[in-house]
Amino acid sequence: MKKKQLLVFVLCTLVSYLGCQSGPEIIDDLSDTSFELVNQDSVSVTFPDDYQGKYVVMGFIYTNCPDICPLITQNLIKIQREMGYPDDVQFLGVTFDPERDTPSVLANYKQVFKLNENFDFLTGDPSTINAFMDSVRVRSQVSFTTTTDDGRELYFMNHSDKIMVLDKKSRIIIEYGGSMPQVPTLIIEDFQKLR
């Protein structure tokens, strides 16, 4: 076989091999983890077991965040709306500030954004939330504080900017910068390839 023919053969074999690879790349498998969390209605949630059999689209926020976290929340809302509020996709916002983001605070946040039943916010005890955030590689740290009108200190946080998608087996298959304006389009396109 001449060199050129051999090269064509190798390329065709490679393309064929890549084409046969089915399904998205698995970024991480969370199916063997378990976290006892609570939603905005104080209902206990075991993550990810309670969502197995559904896709999960999940962002990470804290409610005292004035700018970026609302953008992440808006992107989650846009994805849900443009997908037509699918029953088999659970939307989640998980706080990395559990000390302040209690269920009632998250309920207020959910009300402000006028979210529906298939969109929950989760919190938990700080040690569980820390372990959870480690498992999804979300970092946060207090950045600065300001003093409120009544003399209390209010802290703000540096944090990861992330929206991720879990498949029905609780495996992370998609990750994007959560506040990026193009994220809803990218995730919807990715879903179209999945289904």
Partner 1 sequence: MNKITLFFFVSTLFISCSQPEKELPKSNEIMLIDGWARPGKAGMMSAAYFKLKNNTGSPDTVLNILSDASKNTQMHLSFKTDDGLMSMKQQQFVAIPSKSEIEFKQGGLHVMIIQPDRDLVEGDSISLRLFLSSSKELVAKVPVKSVN
Q: Which residues bind partner 1 (CB under 8 A)?
A: 63-68, 70-71, 74, 77-78, 81, 105, 108-109, 111-114, 139-141, 143-144, 146, 148-149, 154, 156, 158-161, 179
**Nearest to partner 1 of 47, 115 (CB atom):** 115
**Nearest to partner 1 of 14, 154 (CB atom):** 154
Q: Residue 143 has which token pair? A: 């950045």
In the complex, least distance from residue 65 CB atom to partner 1, rounded to whole angstroms: 7
Torsion of CA 66, 69, 75, 81, to 10 degrees: -80
In the complex, least distance from residue 66 CB atom to partner 1, rounded to whole angstroms: 4
In the complex, least distance from residue 129 CB atom to partner 1, rounded to whole angstroms: 17
Angle at 157 between CA 123 and CA 155, to 5 degrees: 95
Q: Kindly provide the b/e burial profile for residues 17-44, where b requires at least 16 CB atoms within 10 angstroms of the residue's own CB.
A: eeeeeeeeeebbebeeeebebbbbeeee
In the complex, least distance from residue 149 CB atom to partner 1, rounded to whole angstroms: 5
**Nearest to partner 1 of 24, 113 (CB atom):** 113
Return all residues near 112 (Cβ < 8 A) that are at least 6 apart.
none
